[in-house]
Amino acid sequence: RKEVEQDPGPFNVPEGATVAFNCTYSNSASQSFFWYRQDCRKEPKLLMSVYSSGNEDGRFTAQLNRASQYISLLIRDSKLSDSATYLCVVSGNTPLVFGKGTRLSVIA
């Protein structure tokens, strides 16, 4: 089983839609979880950390399910500017492990 798995997409959604991504991880000892956003040919940028209690930042909500070993990202009221690749990141036995990303296209 791969350490971090994401559905590569693409997810094509209309503006205003709600979209959710899941990411599963294999290391039950992982303690740190993040979502990053990466625009085409640009550097990844930290979107939000994921805490056990879940956290929300504006239109974005991240949740952690330790029992099932997955994290999720929910984007409400999608904007054209949300189009990007979203990377799931988990701490492993070595420094952070990055998923390959889920591509989101928000369409007008």
Q: Which residues bind other proteins (CB under 8 A)?
A: 31-32, 34, 41-46, 49, 87, 91, 94-96, 98-101
Tell me how far, at minimum, the Cβ of 40 lies from other proteins, in Å.
Answer: 11
Q: How far is the CB of 7 from other proteins (least distance, A)?
A: 13
Cα–Cα distance measured from residue 29 to residue 43, given in angstroms and rounded to the nearest whole number: 28
Q: Which is nearer to other proteins, 90 or 106 (CB)?
A: 90
> Considering the complex, what minimum distance in angstroms separates the CB of residue 88 from other proteins?
10
Q: What share of the chain is helix, strand, coil (3-state, %, to 5)?
A: 5, 50, 45
Query: Which H or E run contains 6?
Result: strand 4-6
Q: Which is nearer to other proteins, 21 or 34 (CB)?
A: 34
Q: Is 105 in contact with 12 (CB distance < 8 Å)?
A: yes
